[in-house]
């Protein structure tokens, strides 16, 4: 499994709007991409931050959404741009799973 983590700093007063956009429009789109497994959203409203973690079957699947022109990452950044307080911080790598 491979993960892509994106952290965004949102303008004050825009966290709920940005989280709704991610939950309802951007994150569900990931299911249409090859190798998609799961998405998570962490909302840190007091600090105006949102973090997403998407889980993919392989490195190439994760890279496709990030590197492909017009891919999910570029689309998401464009949609969130009016609400961003700073450029997104994105990175990817292998995931380790630990269960109870």
Residue 77's alpha-carbon distances to 8, 12, 51, 70, 93, in angstroms, are: 9, 18, 13, 11, 20
What is the residue range of 6's domain?
Answer: 2-93
Residue 39, domain member (yes or no): yes
85 in any annotated domain: yes
**Percent of the chain scored above 90 by pLDDT?**
86
**Tens-place pLDDT, residues 25-69:** 999 999 999 999 999 999 999 999 999 999 999 999 998 888 776
- CATH number for the domain including 42? 3.30.70.100
In-domain check, residue 99: no
């Amino acid at each position: 499994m491979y993960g892509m983590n994106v952290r965004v700093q949102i303008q004050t007063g825009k966290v709920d709007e940005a989280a709704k956009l991610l939950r309802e429009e951007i994150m569900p789109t990931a299911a249409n991409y090859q190798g998609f497994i799961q998405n998570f959203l962490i909302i840190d409203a007091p600090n105006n931050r949102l973090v997403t973690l998407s889980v993919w079957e392989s490195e190439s699947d994760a890279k496709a959404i990030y590197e492909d022109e017009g891919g999910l990452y570029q689309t998401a950044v464009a949609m969130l741009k009016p609400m961003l307080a700073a450029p997104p911080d994105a990175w990817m790598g292998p995931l380790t799973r630990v269960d109870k």
